[in-house]
Structure 1
Amino acid sequence: MQTLVTLIKGGPNPLAFPQVIQDTVYVLGPVKFSTIQVIILVVASLLMVFLQFTIKYTKIGKAMRATSEDYEIAGLMGINVNNVVSFTFAIGAALAAAGGVLVGMYFNSIHPFMGVSVGLKSFCAAVVGGIGSIPGAMLGGIFIGIAEVMGVAAGFDTYKEAIAFGLLILILLFKPTGLLGLPIQRKV
């Protein structure tokens, strides 16, 4: 799909993303943040709460959990697993689109390959926080972000991108389930 979009738009050059919100920088002591960053934090938090609520407390969420646990048994219990899988992909696509809009707002540009770096760091955040834990993924993202900022402040700015992967390796070595992940018990 990335190559198709690149061919349609005529090359890999970024396109300008319209600035729909006046961006103001606020200073609170040593911390600087912008309106866009606050909006991203609020929208991402609301989407995370929505996803957590949907998965934990709704009928479709229960069906999603059952289908992910055992596809065949869920079907035998009367769950239309094809609809559940389609709904899950639709939620994933909607969340990815929302994330793309938020990233486009932040950088004021979009291009077909803009999700590669963000996707890899999101994967690292999910593993560090604990696969299967939505709050864990958020905690993993915050943990990685703080580690990257501390690394840059310590003078390791050339290794900023490698810090997330270093944390991923350390977590996999010492706590493979992640920060909030639960150990999986396999039945034999």
Structure 2
Amino acid sequence: MSTPSPRLVSWENGTDLVIELLLARDVGTVWDALTDSGTAAAWFAPFRLGEESEDAGDDADVPASRPITFELEDIDLSGSVLSCEEYDHVLLDLDDFGVLGIRLLPLEGDTGEGTLLVFTQTAADVDTARAQASEFGPMWDTHLRLFTRSLGVNIAEATEPELDAAYSDLALEAGDAGDGPDSVDASSATADRAES
């Protein structure tokens, strides 16, 4: 049975809320469910993608971005896709939430293929990350549990008080200087866990 594993990771240029989740599904299955608008409606919201920014072109100083809009029940949540590599990661900048990343790491074990899903929400500093974790962590945790169930993977229920307690005082880890949020990698510890 899977359960989310949250912590804060401090980088050279900020601090991330990191939530890891082991999924008993291969990366292709997880990626397809993650990036399908219809499937996303079951665990977050359907989305629509706009055209890639024409400003990017060949200029290395202007990153390619693509508008994305999540169609929530009463409002639209807008943002942009900053980076996306099929079957590896997606990095979003969403209004009201900032930079969010999801990375998929393939795992092989005794039970066959699996995936380590690493969700991140980036903040400028530890205090901001703690505030975001307390405010948004329970919500992200709930959506990740819904995503897990949409894959047919068994996951424990969590009550609102349990989630509030879990995200109100997270452990803080130091990340490697070269593995900041721009790399969409949670930490060297994540890579180590993925390999074991």
- Give TM-score scaled by structure 1 length: 0.27
Instruction: Please identify which structure carries the higher strand content.
Output: 2
| Larger RCO (alpha carbons 8 Å, 6+ apart) | 2
Instruction: Please identify which structure carries the higher helix content.
Output: 1
> Who wins on radius of gyration, i.e. which is larger?
1
